[in-house]
Amino acid sequence: MQDIRIFTAEDIYLVLTTVLGTLLFQMAVFFFIKWRRYDKKLRLQDQVINLSMSIFFLFWGLANFVALPFDLGEVEARLGALKMDLLFFVIGTFALIYTLMKILEIKHKKIYLGVLLSSILIVLLSQTADNYLWYYVILSSVLFVFIIYFIRKAHILTHGEILKNLIPIFIGLLIFSTSYIRKNLNLLAGSVIPALGEFDDLLLLNLDKMVDIFGMLLISLGFYLVEFAELKWKQAIKHLMVINKGGICLYYYPFVEIEEKEARVKGKKTGKGGVDSEDFDRQLAAGAIMGVQSILGEVIDKKSEEQLEVVDYKGKKLLFTSSPENYINVVLISEQDLLILHEKIEKLAKQIETYFKDYLEKNITKIDLYKPISYLIEEIFHVDNLKRDIILKP
């Protein structure tokens, strides 16, 4: 009769570590492929984000495997394994922080690089496990606070379907930011109050690893549902027009006034007229845009009653939407076609039709009457530098 092998706590921990490491490496490959498939239509910063996220997942995956000798109590390899674990943890953590900084447009690169180099030196020069333990706690706490700030900022920038899709990422990142605190809970408790350091180490480690796997699954789900570009929509928007059903531009709002001025100066020097020169007739442009949208809509699908929503022209996207009763069209010129931008212009079109319905029903086109549209635009698009005095000259 053959002996029946019983899985020990060590065996279960090895299996859980392998599962978690596989998930981390899978996400590292996912973002590495996105980085390698360089798309000229994407901003360089978006490509940097893909690379830094790949580094984060790769090094945290490596950290889980190199820590095995320390976690399983192999005395001879404990200090070296712990040092490698912490080194990979530091690199992965700072790759994640760098990614979040890029998304939120936080600068202070010198401070970031200084803290990173200091952290690596601490890892290389420290000689005792206790030093590492407290360093885990401090760095994990900084990461946790940073992720809370990221969640708060992302909540302000997004809404609707995008925000729902981000929730798994938020929860997963919070779980991972506390990973090393939970992992070292037994050592921490034992170092502060010896009587509390009597937990079963492997039981805690196995529970901790299962929590991490759950967090990793949530992160994976979130990244398959949403792109980071949705959080950087402010960098994509350029111009917005509100056009009535007769093709008259009732309101124009430039999100990039500085770029417009530079283009106009260039137009003067070259003597060429164009969409950004001083001779730019927004009324003519409004009629042309609506004409192109109408013609393309008929050519692409004559039977469909739905409006054409996006036109791609020389790297720029023209996003279209109509108000519920088709009194107005909102046209947004953007660098990217993002779901959140469609949601915002739909909301704007509804609000404009609600507030100005009396004028729109009577087909009143006096531009000064539509000045308050700027308040609606700046509220929906969270404009920092208000331009409420801008109106379209008749």
Question: Tokens 């299996």 belong to which residue?
Answer: 15
Higher pLDDT, 198 or 117: 117
The C-alpha atoms of residue 101 and residue 117 are separated, in whole angstroms, by: 17
Contact assessment for residue 215 and residue 258, using Cβ atoms and an 8 Å cutoff? no
Q: Which amino acid is at 192?
A: V
Q: In what order do the strands lie in the sheet with 237-244?
A: 249-254, 237-244, 328-334, 316-322, 310-313
**C-alpha distances out from residue 337 to 58, 317, 363, Å:** 30, 6, 31
Section 367-371 average pLDDT:
86
pLDDT exceeds cutoff 70 at 226: yes
89-111 residue pLDDT tens? 888 888 888 888 777 777 666 77
**C-alpha distances out from residue 192 to 130, 177, 206, 262, 340, Å:** 11, 22, 23, 62, 48
Residue 210 neighbours by CB under 8 Å, 6+ apart: 16
Closest CA to 147 of 212, 113, 96: 96
303-334 residue pLDDT tens? 445 566 787 777 788 888 888 888 888 989 88
Contact assessment for residue 294 and residue 306, using Cβ atoms and an 8 Å cutoff? no
241-283 residue pLDDT tens? 898 888 888 888 888 764 555 444 444 444 443 334 333 466 6
Domains within the chain, CATH numbers bracketed: 9-232 (1.20.1070.10), 236-380 (3.30.450.70)
Question: Which of 121-130, 182-191, 202-211 is the most confident on average?
Answer: 202-211
Q: Is the pTM of this model over 0.75?
A: no
Q: Which amino acid is at 225?
A: L
Residue 259 neighbours by CB under 8 Å, 6+ apart: 238
Residue 189's pLDDT band (boundaries 50, 70, 90)?
low
The C-alpha atoms of residue 139 and residue 122 are separated, in whole angstroms, by: 12
Q: How many other CB atoms sit within 10 Å of the CB of residue 118?
A: 10
Residue 375, token pair as written in the block: 């308040």
Residue 180 neighbours by CB under 8 Å, 6+ apart: 89, 136, 137, 139, 140
pLDDT on residue 271: 45
Q: Which amino acid is at 156?
A: I
Strand 237-244 with 310-313, pairing: unpaired
Contact assessment for residue 388 and residue 378, using Cβ atoms and an 8 Å cutoff? yes
Residue 348 neighbours by CB under 8 Å, 6+ apart: 330, 376, 377, 380
The C-alpha atoms of residue 155 and residue 158 are separated, in whole angstroms, by: 5
Residue 228, token pair as written in the block: 């980071």
Strand 328-334 with 237-244, pairing: antiparallel
Residue 343 neighbours by CB under 8 Å, 6+ apart: 159, 160, 161, 162
Q: How many other CB atoms sit within 10 Å of the CB of residue 1?
A: 3
Question: Whole-number mean pLDDT of the chain?
Answer: 75
Of 68-72, 119-123, 124-128, 268-272, give the lowest mean pLDDT range. 268-272
Q: Which amino acid is at 392?
A: L
Residue 248, token pair as written in the block: 């008259």
